[in-house]
Structure 1
Amino acid sequence: MSLLNHSLGSLARDIPGATRLFHHYQLNYCCGGKALLSEALAERGLDTAEVIARLELLAARHQDDTNWAEVGIDPLIDHILERYHAVHREQLPVLLQLARRVEAVHEAHSLCPSGLADHLDAMRQELESHMQKEEQILFPMLRRGLFTPARAPIEVMRMEHDDHGQALNRLLELTHQLALPGDACTSWQTLYAGITELKNDLMQHIHLENNLLFQADSLNPSSRHQEVHHG
């Protein structure tokens, strides 16, 4: 079935990252969530092929079967930067906006995730600080093969990863384990779908760093020989 025949609301729920794309094209997947993608694109006069291609790319991105243990340091870091750092920076502002909306509209509901927006904002700040440290300090050291000097910052990053794990646990507590009421609006459904995406992405992100990038002996040996040539 063509994506054009799916509603904006269903695409927002089923394709991780679609909400950010819809924001970019100003497609209303909340109040206008029942509209078919074909109808919404026609109404906005958008390039159908372009939007479909970007949606298909988003869907394919979550079916990656690359063996990252075999690619070497530089490609792995490039992948982490593009697939996780850049994506987290897109995810959290959208989730924060949705959380504030849901908390404001459904404040009286027994399953309302009260405090979720504040927690997401704290996560956003902590994750941004963490990623900047990796981008500015640790990753350049690893690219140069400076594994011994990198041990101290790696331990700091591991501890911060543990903190991110605790933040994810708190996220599940605030959302009642992502339990949606039967009458949940599109915004609420989209919020929880986005949180599920964030949780899965962050866990995979941490796995690639803790279990591959931070383990020198699990990386391509050809990427490690440079250590002796740098001070």
Structure 2
Amino acid sequence: MSLLEQTIASIACEIPGATRVFHKFKLDFCCGGQQPLKDAIAHRNLDAALVVAELEQVQQLPSEDTDWRTAEPAALIDFILERFHALHRIQLPELARLARRVEHVHSDKPGCPLGLADHLLYMQQEMESHMQKEEQILFPMLKAGHNNMVQGPIAMMRFEHEQHGEGLEELSRLTNDITPPEGACVTWRALYTGLTQLREDLMQHIHLENNILFANATLPQ
């Protein structure tokens, strides 16, 4: 099957480095990962040959990335906790602090992301609630192998992932797609660098859960 016929999620799982290409072309491989690549490309009016060429290029590169599809659920869960849950708890409050400062100092300037600090605090609250449910309920069940009992919790987590995706869309709207205006100060640029990293981390986080951890748990036994 050609790359264009495959879903974005399957490509993200199969090709190490594919997510970097998807970030570059702003293709959603986490919440929107179940659509074929050709449909996602058409929706964004991209050059299909260019996207495929870049994917084929990274496909040829050696990779040291872990293939989480074959890992034990406990190993993937531990990685998610250490790499993403702990990180988001640091990222979001610090980014909200920087956003508040930018809004306070530059509120009269074109392009100032008014409302961004409040939105980041809202995202922080939603993420904290979501992560606690995973840590206290779903992840222990998955580690114990109780896959027959996780369908409901997984459905809820997938739904909340969609909400996180909407949060990223609002973040993009408030910041001109995380693009600082010409002449932006150091703090403003540091804020947008951090927002870019948050977006990439959160999308990778959701991808690993939706397309690998949850998908494996719901496979027919």
Report the TM-score, using the length of structure 1 for normalisation: 0.66
Residue type matched to 2:118 in 1?
D
SS of structure 1 residue aligned to 2:148: coil
What is aligned with 1:201?
Answer: 201
Cα pair distance change 1:213/1:88, threshold 3 Å: same
Return 5+ residue gaps in structure 1 as ranges: 1-62, 225-231
Quick check: 1:159 aligned with 2:192?
no
Partners of 1:213 and 1:134 lie apart in 2 by: 12
* Within-5 A mapping of 1:9-24: none
Q: Verify the 8 A CA contact 1:100 1:117 in the aligned structure 2.
A: yes
Number of equivalenced pairs: 159
* Within-5 A mapping of 1:2-151: 65-151=65-151
What is aligned with 2:49?
Answer: none
Q: Aligned-pair distance for 1:178?
A: 1.3
Partners of 1:69 and 1:152 lie apart in 2 by: 22
Larger mean CA deviation between 201-210 and 67-76 belongs to 67-76
Cα pair distance change 1:116/1:197, threshold 3 Å: same
Residue type matched to 2:80 in 1?
I
Q: Aligned-pair distance for 1:128?
A: 0.2
Partners of 2:118 and 2:200 lie apart in 1 by: 21
Partners of 1:161 and 1:194 lie apart in 2 by: 20
Q: Aligned-pair distance for 1:177?
A: 1.1
Partners of 2:91 and 2:173 lie apart in 1 by: 20
Cα pair distance change 1:150/1:218, threshold 3 Å: closer
Q: Verify the 8 A CA contact 1:99 1:117 in the aligned structure 2.
A: yes
Report the TM-score, using the length of structure 2 for normalisation: 0.69
Q: Verify the 8 A CA contact 1:69 1:218 in the aligned structure 2.
A: no
Q: Verify the 8 A CA contact 2:142 2:217 in the aligned structure 1.
A: no
Partners of 1:185 and 1:70 lie apart in 2 by: 45
Q: Aligned-pair distance for 1:69?
A: 1.1
Cα pair distance change 1:98/1:64, threshold 3 Å: farther
1:69-126 deviations in Å (ceiling 9; x for gaps): 1221011000000000000000011101000000000000110000000000000000
CA RMSD of aligned residues (A): 1.8
What is aligned with 1:189?
Answer: 189
Cα pair distance change 1:155/1:218, threshold 3 Å: closer
What is aligned with 1:211?
Answer: 211
SS of structure 2 residue aligned to 1:90: helix
